[in-house]
Chains A and B, each alone.
Chain A
Amino acid sequence: MTTLSRRHDFVLIFDVTNGNPNGDPDAGNLPRLDPETNHGLVTDVSLKRKIRNYVELAREGAEGHHIYVQEGAILNEKHRQAYVALRGDEKSKKDAKLNPRDDAEATALRDFMCRNFFDVRTFGAVMSTGINCGQVKGPVQMTFANSVEPVLPVEISITRMAATNEAEQKKKAEGDDSDQRTDNRTMGRKHIVPYGLYVAHGFVSAKFAERTGFSEADLDLLFEALANMFEHDRAAARGEMTSRKLIVFRHANALGNAPAHRLFDLVQIGRNVDGEFRALDDRGLSNLPPARKFTDYSVHIDRERLPEGVEILELL
């Protein structure tokens, strides 16, 4: 496998229609909002979770593409047996120190993890190995995604025509002496964003790739995952989420040829008014109805200002 030799920066543009892209545990699972601007947020870890899930689906069991940080219980009986066997084993070694004996062993452990697990190789992992505080820094880093305009989350009340248990049914019956048909009805809430276009920035350090063995093929898989991850993350809460654009800036060398912020500034997103690009801070936009679909926006890449030594790949 050829190790990555060039730095990459990327912009991922995705949207959500009638869904909750990322719930806020602090706010009763409302879509995350920047409290000062009302722009929607999606955390980096939320996006990384989806990349892991996609790779797990697409490369299931493939050598070198295991996922360390897995979602959901996959323990079948066989696993459980191994677990029990291991536990016993561990106990017998309980007094042995957890940290590796020396740097060489720590390196061997780290290499083993990087070789076998795609997510360790890509995003890094904290291992209690004692070397360099036990961290593997991965080459790929992502930022929080921001919506390009403020979003207005909507609360939708929903009903279920059943009760969870008898106690709940009884409670309902006591407090309510109206219509008999509503006996077992319980109510719930859903929070949705009617429409939001989000932008996330990402960075791939070729120098860190050398250390974890992150290869050109891994990069292709990463971009494949970014383009397709929402297609395999359908859920009642998500609504319709789609990767709309993936714009990759490929530098000619490992350290890069231009500052990332200057490259990201080349990607301009505005409102599409009858086919005309209008910047989002254009005052004339205030009479426009809120955006409800991707074609209400227009994405423009300013190729003329592209610095030398940087190539643009539009992968989506």
Chain B
Amino acid sequence: MAYGIRLHVWGQHALFTRPELKVERMSYDVMTPSAARGILEAIHWKPAIRWVIDRIHVLEPIRFQSIRRNEVGHKAPAGKIRQAMKRGDLEDLQLLVDEDRQQRASAVLVAPRYVIEAHFDMTGKAGPDDSAGKHLDIFNRRAARGQCFHQPCLGTREFTAHFDLIPPEAPLPARNPKAETAEHGFGAPRDLGFMLWDIDHGKPGRPSLFFRAALRDGVLDVPQPGSAEVKG
């Protein structure tokens, strides 16, 4: 873990959708490793590297709110777009929201704050110019300056993630004392059940991988890729 980084992230709301409750979305209690990876990739990523999440610290109490919104029920069909391209006009290539309404509720997390501990591995796509030090430098420079490829988010894009790099020698930001309860794994570990670890984008069908998550003293330890704890 020579190339470890620590990133402090927070926002107003977060929605780490449980895959089994995704029509009326229900968030996990804690950020998933795949959401944490997405945040890091929003700051810096190249095919030469792969981010691996080691640990997620929960700094604020876990609280939920429900928000119901008018949403649309359909994606843009590729077939219709292809027809419009062939025809050369755009007629009928709209989506009429009033006729395709779905009102869906989301149970979202309120005022979350985390520290993500992660490192990266080099992948097979690394060229001769790619060294771990270079990518670490780029990430640290960008994160310290607040630069990003796009503004990262906490699960869904309307819930913006603000971020700050924690320098290697600096202490972690203080945890809200209200988050030091049994519900956050203080005293005894709190089992969070099976949680999404990540989606395997390399395999056909993009299978989801899960792990048995537990909060210990407010910290979620994430198993490493390839370990037996990650289950398909």
Residues of chain A from 102 to 126 with CB closer than 8 A to chain B in the complex: 105-106, 108-109, 112-113, 116, 120, 125-126
Residue B76 lies at the interface, judged by CB distance under 8 Å to chain A = yes
CA distance A270 to B164 in the complex (A): 26
**Interface of A: prevailing SS:** mixed
Task: Assess the B151–A260 pair: CB atoms within 8 A.
Answer: yes
- CB contacts (< 8 Å) of A125 on chain B: these are 75-76
Binds A, one of B81-89, B187-195, B208-216, B219-227: B81-89
Most chain A Cβ neighbours within 10 Å, of B68, B110, B146: B146
Q: How far is the CA of A128 from the CA of B149 in the complex (A)?
A: 25
Residues on A with C-beta less than 8 A from B98 are 71-73
Whether, in the assembled complex, A221 has its beta carbon less than 8 Å from a beta carbon of chain B, the answer is no
In the complex, which residue of chain B has the Cβ closest to the Cβ of A131?
Answer: B78
In the complex with contacts A45-B69, A106-B78, A127-B78, A259-B160 CB distance below 8 A: no
Write the nearest CB–CB distance from A132 to chain B, whole angstroms. Answer: 9
Q: Tell whether, in the assembled complex, residue B92 and residue A260 are in contact, meaning their CB atoms are under 8 Å apart.
A: no
| Residues of A contacting B79 in the complex (Cβ-Cβ under 8 angstroms) | 90, 93, 96, 98
- Could you mark each residue 83-109 of chain A with 1 if its beta carbon is under 8 Å from any beta carbon of chain B, else 0? 100100110010010111000011011
* A69 and B78 contacting across the interface, CB-CB below 8 Å: no
Q: Does B162 contact A (CB under 8 A)?
A: yes
Residues from chain A with a CB closer than 8 A to the CB of B69 are: 25, 43, 45
User: CA separation between A41 and B67, bound complex, in Å?
Assistant: 10
Given the contacts A141-B157, A203-B160, A255-B142, A26 and B105 also touching, CB distance less than 8 Å: yes
A79 and B91 contacting across the interface, CB-CB below 8 Å: yes
A109-B82 CB under 8 A given contacts A98-B77, A208-B150, A259-B146: yes
Is A24 on the interface with B (CB-CB < 8 A)?
yes
CA distance A10 to B66 in the complex (A): 27
A201 to B206, CA, bound (A): 34
- Chain A residues with CB under 8 A of B131: none
Q: CB-nearest residue of chain B relative to A256?
A: B147
Inside 8 A of B179's CB, which chain A residues have their CB?
A: none
Residue contact B162 to A128, C-beta cutoff 8 Å: no
> Chain B interface secondary structure, helix, strand, loop or mixed?
mixed
B window 130-152: CB within 8 A of A? 142, 145-151
The A1-27 residues at the B interface (CB cut-off 8 A) are: 9, 24-26
Q: Does B16 contact A (CB under 8 A)?
A: no
Contacts of A69 in B (CB 8 A): 72, 94-95, 97
Residues of B near A99 (CB, < 8 A) are 78
Interface size of B by CB at 8 A reads 52
Shortest A98–chain B CB gap in Å is 5
**A222 in the interface, Cβ–Cβ < 8 Å?**
no
- The verdict on B51 contacting chain A, using a C-beta distance below 8 Å, is no
- Contact of B93 with A by CB under 8 A: yes
A32 CB to closest chain B CB (Å) equals 8
Tell me if A128 and B78 are in contact (CB < 8 A).
yes
Question: Given A93-B79, A127-B75, A205-B150, are A259 and B162 also a contact pair (CB < 8 Å)?
Answer: yes
Restricting to B39-82, which residues have a CB under 8 Å from any CB of A?
63, 65-72, 75-82
8 Å CB contacts to B: which residues of A142-171?
Answer: 142-144, 146
Inter-subunit contact B147/A257 (CB<8 Å)? yes
- Specify the chain A residue showing the minimal Cβ separation from B99: A73
Nearest CB of A to B9, in Å: 11
**Which residue of the partner chain A has the closest CB to B95?**
A69
**Complex contacts, B164 vs chain A, CB 8 Å:** 259
- A25–B183 alpha-carbon span in the complex (Å): 31
Judge if B12 is at the interface, Cβ distance under 8 Å: yes
Q: Nearest CB to that of B156 among chain A residues?
A: A44
Q: Could you list which residues of chain B lie within 8 angstroms of chain A, going by C-beta atoms?
A: 12-13, 63, 65-72, 75-85, 90-99, 103, 105, 110, 142, 145-151, 153, 157-160, 162-164, 206
Q: Given contacts A68-B93, A134-B78, A141-B151, could you give 10 more A-B pairs where the C-beta distance is less than 8 Å?
A: A25-B69, A26-B68, A35-B65, A79-B91, A86-B80, A86-B92, A100-B78, A208-B150, A257-B146, A260-B146
Closest 7 CB pairs of A and B: A259-B146, A205-B150, A255-B147, A261-B162, A127-B76, A26-B68, A44-B158
